[in-house]
Amino acid sequence: MSIPVQFVVVEKYSKDSQVIAPKKRNYYFHFLKRILALSVQKLQRSSDFTKHSSNMFSCCDVLKHIENSELVHLNWINNETIALEKIPNIKGKIIITLHDEWFYCGTEHYTLESKRFIEGYSVENRDVFGVDLDRLVWIRKKRALNAIKDRVIFTAPSNWMVDRANQSALLQHFDIRLIPNCLDTELYSPTPSDVLVDFGVTDQDRVILFGAVYGKNMGMKGFDLLQQALRLLKTRLPEKCNIVLVSFGGTAGKNRLDFGFRHVEIGHVSESSKLAELYSRADFTVVPSIVESFGQVAAESLACETPVIAFDSSGLKDIVIHKVNGYLATPHSIESLCEGMLWMLDHDLCSLRQLGENGRRHVVCTFSEDIVVEKLLNLYCEHAGRAVVFQ
């Protein structure tokens, strides 16, 4: 038996006919709702600098296409895509993937120090100023999730996220499965190229790679920690060293001396094939994130046989194996991050290649599309209550 599958989004970036998005007029109306929601969020002041979402409004076009579906897989419903109160209106079975911590927190997408997500958001443990939107949204989530408890399964992309969800006051009694993000390991594979030649990077240069969607300006990605670690690294290396820091994501910048080393800012890279070339050229990639639900950059780098340095925390622990395919530094120690880079730089290219080969083997066996898609299809069939073939 076949069941048609549709992808429903608020913002569409492809011409795929299976991807459904709002008409232009409806999109602009939805954008006004987002502005209003952001204005309301200013009633609360918090020390948590991560993204915050209240989900007060819905995109009507999205609701129209999913309300009567037999099985709905919700991947990300923020930016006012679906209001919390509308989730119980979905008539079929529901799968929700936790791409961050929002579903078991208040308005915050990651909770860095607060334990409210474990204790429950009460008046007594309030840790914000102004209106406690975190508590109000948490209560709304509790009502919505209790209404669908018998027909929802959660998935999380890392063991860390599964553990956090199981600790939470909201989700500790729900069914939570580990299904990692998948990776196209044919596309992300060792790809020799001269991609950095135009930026003045030679074969003699040791390349350290850093990447994030918003580049070095995204605080959660830990660029400030990398910056400090590089300054410390400079004091521990010979005066004449041919190290180049290459970063991608954000906006491109001019080559300049930075932290004592050359810094080449590539800017946004839209083509995955170009990213594979960047990863393949680097000696190693540094992922100094404060927290990662999974760690896509780390997985992509290892798939290209380039070892990774990361902190021994969050979802990255599933991807980087200490001194087998990379280096796990003490969270969130500048000294330990520097030690990791020294450890990598002490390896010759042959030794780095061995680490990279270990990394690719781990990624292919754990995160390749064939592996992850099979897990998802099995979950869909189980949750739908019968065997189905998606077309």
> What pLDDT score was predicted for residue 256?
57
| pLDDT per position as a tens digit, 84-110 | 999 999 999 999 999 999 999 999 999
Do residues 145 and 170 touch, judged by C-beta distance below 8 A? yes
| pLDDT per position as a tens digit, 299-309 | 999 999 999 99
CA distance 32 to 129: 26
Do residues 285 and 259 touch, judged by C-beta distance below 8 A? no
Strands 261-267, 256-258: parallel, antiparallel or unpaired by DSSP?
antiparallel
| pLDDT per position as a tens digit, 141-168 | 999 999 999 999 999 999 999 999 999 9
H/E run at residue 71:
strand 71-74
Q: State both tokens at 110.
A: 């990651």
H/E run at residue 246:
strand 243-248
CA distance 140 to 239: 58
Percent residues over pLDDT 90 in the chain: 77
> What pLDDT score was predicted for residue 388?
42
For residue 305, how many other CB atoms are within 10 A of its CB?
24
Query: Could you report how far apart the first and last alpha carbons of the chain are, in Å?
Result: 10
Closest by CA to 288, choosing from 182, 236, 188, 216, is 216
> What pLDDT score was predicted for residue 1?
44
- Place 118 in a pLDDT band, splitting at 50, 70 and 90: very high
- Place 243 in a pLDDT band, splitting at 50, 70 and 90: very high
* One-letter amino acid for residue 68 of the chain: N
CA distance 269 to 188: 14
> What pLDDT score was predicted for residue 58?
95
> What pLDDT score was predicted for residue 49?
87
| pLDDT per position as a tens digit, 332-355 | 999 999 999 999 999 998 999 999
Length of the chain equals 391
Do residues 196 and 242 touch, judged by C-beta distance below 8 A? no
> What pLDDT score was predicted for residue 215?
57
* Cα dihedral value 237, 242, 276, 329, nearest 10: 0
- Tally of helices (H runs) and strands (E runs) in the chain: 11, 17
Q: State both tokens at 7.
A: 């992808």
DSSP state of 183: B
For residue 38, how many other CB atoms are within 10 A of its CB?
14
Top mean pLDDT of 210-224, 290-304, 371-385 is at 290-304
Percent residues over pLDDT 70 in the chain: 94
| pLDDT per position as a tens digit, 251-270 | 776 555 567 788 999 988 98
Comparing 237 with 179, which gets the higher pLDDT? Answer: 179
Does residue 325 surpass a pLDDT of 50?
yes
Phi and psi angles of residue 286, each rounded to the nearest 5 degrees, phi first: -105, 125
CA distance 41 to 53: 8
Does residue 318 surpass a pLDDT of 80?
yes
> What pLDDT score was predicted for residue 253?
67
Average pLDDT of 208-214? 85
> H-type helices in the chain, by residue range?
24-41, 60-66, 116-119, 133-147, 159-167, 223-235, 272-281, 296-303, 334-345, 349-367, 369-384
